[in-house]
Every structure is written in structure tokens, then in C-alpha cells.
């Protein structure tokens, strides 16, 4: 019995040593910002463990004190070894639309997609800005753009720098102001005068900030702001209410491989999300992180784009081959929004006719959306979309057709299919009634 308890005690000390070395490794990863793919933290941890083992075994020649060091070294080494290519692997070409690459005046090289209009064309181009902020355009969105083209619109869209098939930027260049400059440069490159712009989610933030920039706004004919995120730092700090219940927490868990099941990427993405590693961390390169991240890593974020009633019929939005999301670059863009001063004063001077689209089951903070409505005097109508979540065009029922009807009515300056709600005067009651 004495030997048994002695064994248990030694085992407990060994486990404590392993846990202590793992904790030290994580602390060093944070302090070094993952320098050298984590190798700096790994070598330092190994050195500390070896010194401690030598000190414990100084009176005898034993290997036992080194066993926790060996175990900890093996476990932490898995955080330092890439398991996906470290050079960017771009998604293959889509079978239904050609991919062009345009070199913009800003230095960005972006992937561009064009859906020519059906007969009876409307000559003014419609430019679509997808959500992300640094994410490829999902197949589901491409299908919606095809629907708009069939209704006569000359549709162009591009994946913002670093997203999808667009070239990467140095991490420090992913900023919300760069995104606005890229939009202006894209319109200039298109060379067809002022254009209509539809911005969704993070794309709606880019569009909102473009409307607050006189030079960028001069290139926009009409603007559709769909489900915007926070437009500036003061708005980003609002933690208000959301829409009707979404499918978050109700939908079945997404299937498929997860990078977060691999120690290297679980540590990297987890610490980045906690703000303990910078988006430009030396632990994983930008290209490697993009290659590793999968649709399943988004977890309940996808379900939050749908109403609770749709929890068990959420469609597949994208293919595994087409999916692309840059978590690090997206965090960097988001941080530049949080760090930016208020744009409310500049937005109040906007004169570009605009429409705001709000989803009933939106997972966005309502005050992010109402802040745009309150401060942009050129918003002519608001369309509160019943029965849909954040991703309003999603292929379920007639949701795509209803969203298209709202968009086309505004672009053609026809009466809206839905009431103008909420108007600016309705904002207090809209928030009070928790719509």
C-alpha cells in the first residue's frame, strides 16, 4: 500500500510538471507573439524543463525527472509543426462563372466576377460587396447575384483583398479605410461612371463608410445597406439588443473537418480571438491560417444567420472547395473599425440615395443598424424583412425572390413592396419593442 501511494504521489508530481510546462509554453507563446512558428517558446520551455529536471536529479543519475520534460516537449511540438501548406492555396475556379483578376490603383489584386444582364438590360452596373470582412463569396451569394442578373442587372462583384481568390496583403494593410479605397478604385477600374452598390454585413460597413467619404461617395449612384455591422469605434462599443431569436444553439452542429481540432490551429486561433496574439502573429503565417480554416470552424456563426424556426433546415451555403475565410485578416479589419473615431458627422453630409435592409431574426446588434439610419439623412426607405435571419437571401422558400423584389424596387425608384419601417422617428419604439 505504501508503494502504491508513493507511485500515485510521483505520478501526480509528474503530471503537475507536465501541466506547468504546458502553461509556461502558452505564456511564452503570448509573450513572444508566437515567434518562429512557436519555436522560440518551445526551446525556452524545453530549457526550463531540462534545468529543473537536472536540479531534481542532481544527487543521482536518473532519467525519471526528464520524463515530464519529454512528454511536454512532444505535446508542445505539435503546436510548432504546420499540418497544411504554408503557401496560399487558392480555391479552384467556379464552374459557372469566369474569374478575372484586376490590379487596382491601391495595389490590391482582386478576383472579379461578372454576371451580364438578361435582355432588357439596365446599363448602370450593380456592384456587390460581400460579408466577411475578408472572406470568399459563397456559392449561395453567387446564386443570388445570378438572380439579379436574370432580372436585367449588370452585376459585378469582387472578393476583397485577401479573401477567396484575391491576392493577400501584408497583415498591417488590412484596414477598413483600405477597403473603402479599394471600392473606389474598383469602380474607377470598371470605368462605367457612377454605380449602384449593394453591401451586405461587413460589406455594408464598407459601403456606409464610403458614403461618409466624399471622394468615394461621388462614385456611388444608389446604395443598399443590408444588415450592417458597426460603422465606427463608438458604434462597435454598443452592446445592445438583437433581433428575434436566431438558430444559434438550436441547429445541429456543423459537420466536417475543423482546424481547431488540431493543436497548432486551436492555440493560434483561440489566442487570436482572445486578443492574446496579434493577427500578424509569428505562430502561423497568414497563408497557412487561411489554408487551415474550414467552414466547420465557424460553428454556430452560420446558424446565427437564420431564424430559429429554420434551425433544422439550414441550407449548405458553400462548397468545401470554394470556402475561404481569413480569420487573422478579418480580426485586423475589425480592430481598425473599433479603433476608428466616429464617422457620424461625415455620414450626416451624405447625399447618395440609400436604403437600409434589416432582417427580423438578425444576430446583429440592432443599434449598429439604427445608428446608420439615424445618421444618414439620405436613407429614403428601410425594409424590415420578415421571416429571415442575417443571411436574407438563403435559398429557403421565396426568400431570394423577396429580397430581390426589395432591391429592384429601390434601384428602379418604384414603390417599396414593404412598409418604410423603421423610419428615423420609429427608432425608439423599434428598439423598445425589441423588433
Task: State yes or no: pLDDT of 162 exceeds 70.
Answer: yes
Q: Domain boundary at 26, 46, 80, which?
A: 80
Residues 251, 246: Cα–Cα separation, whole Å? 9
Q: What is the C-alpha separation between 241 and 363, in angstroms, rounded? A: 9
Question: Residue 163 in contact with residue 134, Cβ under 8 Å?
Answer: yes
Claim to verify: residue 131 and residue 172 sit in the same structural domain: yes
- The CA distance from 52 to 72, in Å, is 13
Q: Are residue 111 and residue 251 in the same domain, yes or no?
A: yes
pLDDT band at 435 (very low <50, low <70, confident <90, very high): confident
Work out the number of other CB atoms within 10 angstroms of the CB of residue 233: 15
* 368 or 68: which leads in pLDDT: 368
pLDDT value at 422 more than 90:
yes
- Say if residues 41 and 18 touch (Cβ distance below 8 Å): no
**Residue matched to cell numbers 501548406:** 85
- 29 with 137, same domain? no
Claim to verify: residue 43 and residue 76 sit in the same structural domain: yes
Same domain, 181 and 123: yes
Listed residue (254, 247, 132) closest to 182, CA to CA: 132
The verdict on residue 287 lying in a domain is: no
pTM, entire model: 0.92
Confidence of residue 263 (pLDDT cuts 50, 70, 90): very high
Task: Tell me the sheet residues that pair with 385.
Answer: 359
Supply φ then ψ for residue 313, to 5 degrees: -140, 35
Does the pLDDT of residue 18 top 70, yes or no?
Answer: yes
Distance of alpha carbon 70 from the chain centroid: 39
pLDDT of residue 51: 83
> What DSSP element (H or E) covers 153?
strand 153-159
Span 29-45, pLDDT tens digits: 999 999 999 999 999 88
Q: What is the pLDDT of residue 239?
A: 83
Answer yes or no: is 299 within a domain.
Answer: no
Whole-number pLDDT of residue 187: 98
67 with 133, same domain: the answer is no
Kindly tell me if the per-residue pLDDT of 114 is higher than 80: yes
Strand partners, 196: 126, 222
- pLDDT confidence bin for 8, thresholds 50/70/90: low
> Quick one: pLDDT band at residue 173, thresholds 50, 70, 90?
very high
Same domain, 108 and 254: yes
Q: Are residues 75 and 109 in the same domain?
A: no
Over residues 102-125, the mean pLDDT reads 91
CA torsion angle 208 212 218 222 (round to 10): 30
Phi, psi of 60 (to 5 degrees): -140, 155
Radius of gyration of the chain (CA): 25
Which residue, 49, 80, 111, sits at the end of a domain?
80
Which of the residue ranges 209-218, 293-302, 370-379 would you say has the lowest mean pLDDT?
A: 293-302
Q: What sign does the CA torsion over 170, 172, 174, 178 have?
A: negative
Q: Mean pLDDT, to the nearest integer, of 254-262?
A: 87
pLDDT digits (tens, 9 = 90+) for 196-228: 999 999 999 999 999 999 999 999 999 999 999
60 and 186: one domain? no
Transcribe 353-416 into DSSP letters.
-EEEEEEEE--S-HHHHHHHHHH-TTEEEEEEEEEEESS---SSTTHHHHHHHHHHHHHTTPPP
Residue 213 contacts residue 346 (beta carbons within 8 Å)? yes
Return d(Cα 268, Cα 112) in angstroms, integer.
Answer: 31
Mean pLDDT for 120-147 is 93
Band of residue 3 on the pLDDT scale cut at 50, 70, 90: low
Given a cut of 90, whether residue 61 has pLDDT beyond it is no
Q: Tell whether 337 is covered by a domain.
A: yes
Q: Are residue 76 and residue 105 in the same domain, yes or no?
A: no
pLDDT surpasses 70 at 6: no
Is residue 246 included in any domain, yes or no? yes
Q: Return the axis-axis angle of helices 2-32 and 263-273, rounded to nearest 10°.
A: 60
143 within a domain of the structure (yes/no): yes
Which residue range(s) make up the domain with 139? 100-261+305-432
Residue 396 lies in a domain: yes
Q: What is the mean pLDDT of the chain?
A: 91
The total number of structural domains that make up the chain: 2
Give the mean pLDDT of 62-71. 74
> Are 205 and 72 contained in the same domain?
no
Q: Per the domain annotation, does 180 fall within a domain?
A: yes
Residue 12 — very low, low, confident or very high, per pLDDT cuts 50/70/90?
low
β-pair partners for 100: 112
Could you tell me what percent of the chain has a pLDDT over 90? Answer: 76
Q: The C-alpha cell of 249 is what?
A: 444553439
Q: Given the C-alpha cell 437571401, which residue does it identify?
A: 393
What are the residues whose beta carbons fall under 8 Å from the beta carbon of 189, sequence distance 6 or more? 102, 104, 105
Which one of 24, 52, 80 terminates a domain? 80
Cα–Cα distances (Å) from 236 to 230, 292, 337, in that order, read 5, 28, 8
Quick: pLDDT tens for 83-95: 999 999 999 999 9
Separation of alpha carbons 211 and 193, rounded Å: 16
Q: Which residues contact 398 (CB under 8 A, 6 or more apart)?
A: none
pLDDT band for 299, please (50, 70, 90 cuts): confident
Mean of pLDDT values over 166-195: 97
Q: What is the mean pLDDT of residues 247-260?
A: 87
- pLDDT, tens digit (0-9, with 9 covering 90-100), for 267-289: 999 999 999 999 999 999 999 99
Which CATH number covers residue 377?
3.40.50.1820
Cα–Cα dist 113/127, whole Å: 10
Amino acid at each position: 500500500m505504501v508503494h502504491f501511494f508513493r507511485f500515485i504521489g510521483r505520478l501526480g508530481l509528474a503530471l503537475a510538471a507536465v501541466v506547468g510546462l504546458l502553461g509556461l509554453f502558452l505564456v511564452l507563446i503570448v509573450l513572444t507573439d508566437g515567434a518562429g512558428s512557436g519555436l522560440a517558446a518551445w526551446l525556452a520551455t524545453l530549457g526550463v524543463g531540462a534545468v529543473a529536471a537536472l536540479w531534481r536529479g542532481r544527487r543521482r543519475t536518473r532519467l525519471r525527472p526528464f520524463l515530464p520534460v519529454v512528454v511536454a516537449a512532444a505535446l508542445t511540438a505539435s503546436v510548432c509543426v504546420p499540418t497544411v501548406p504554408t503557401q496560399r492555396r487558392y480555391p479552384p475556379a467556379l464552374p459557372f462563372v469566369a474569374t478575372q483578376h484586376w490590379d487596382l490603383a491601391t495595389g490590391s489584386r482582386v478576383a472579379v466576377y461578372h454576371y451580364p444582364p438578361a435582355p432588357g438590360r439596365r446599363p448602370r452596373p450593380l456592384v456587390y460587396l460581400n460579408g466577411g470582412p475578408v472572406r470568399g463569396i459563397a456559392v449561395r451569394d453567387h446564386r443570388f447575384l445570378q438572380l439579379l442578373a436574370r432580372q436585367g442587372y449588370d452585376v459585378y462583384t469582387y472578393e476583397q483583398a485577401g479573401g477567396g481568390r484575391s491576392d493577400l496583403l501584408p497583415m498591417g494593410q488590412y484596414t477598413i479605410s483600405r477597403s473603402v479605397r479599394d471600392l473606389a478604385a474598383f469602380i474607377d477600374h470598371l470605368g462605367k461612371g457612377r454605380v449602384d452598390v449593394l453591401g451586405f454585413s461587413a460589406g455594408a460597413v464598407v459601403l456606409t463608410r464610403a458614403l461618409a467619404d466624399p471622394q468615394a461617395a461621388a462614385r456611388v449612384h444608389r446604395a443598399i445597406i443590408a444588415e450592417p455591422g458597426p460603422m465606427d469605434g463608438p458604434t462597435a462599443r454598443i452592446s445592445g439588443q438583437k433581433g428575434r431569436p436566431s438558430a444559434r444553439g438550436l441547429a445541429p452542429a456543423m459537420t466536417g473537418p475543423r482546424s481547431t481540432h488540431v493543436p497548432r490551429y486551436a492555440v493560434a486561433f483561440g489566442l487570436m480571438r482572445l486578443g492574446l496574439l496579434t493577427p500578424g502573429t509569428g505562430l502561423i503565417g497568414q497563408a497557412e491560417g487561411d489554408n487551415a480554416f474550414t467552414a466547420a470552424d465557424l460553428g454556430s456563426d452560420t446558424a446565427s444567420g437564420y431564424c430559429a424556426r429554420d434551425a433544422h433546415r439550414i441550407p449548405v451555403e458553400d462548397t468545401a472547395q470554394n470556402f475561404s475565410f481569413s480569420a487573422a485578416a478579418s480580426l485586423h479589419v475589425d480592430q481598425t473599425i473599433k479603433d476608428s473615431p466616429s464617422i457620424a458627422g461625415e455620414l450626416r453630409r451624405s447625399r447618395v440615395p440609400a436604403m437600409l435592409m434589416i432582417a427580423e431574426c438578425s444576430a446583429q446588434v440592432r443599434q449598429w443598424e439604427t445608428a446608420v439610419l439615424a445618421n444618414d439623412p439620405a436613407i429614403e426607405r428601410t425594409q424590415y424583412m420578415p421571416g429571415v435571419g442575417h443571411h436574407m437571401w438563403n435559398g429557403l422558400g421565396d426568400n431570394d425572390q423577396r429580397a430581390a423584389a426589395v432591391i429592384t424596387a429601390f434601384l428602379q425608384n418604384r414603390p417599396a413592396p414593404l412598409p418604410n419601417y423603421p423610419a428615423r422617428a420609429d427608432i425608439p419604439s423599434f428598439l423598445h419593442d425589441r423588433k
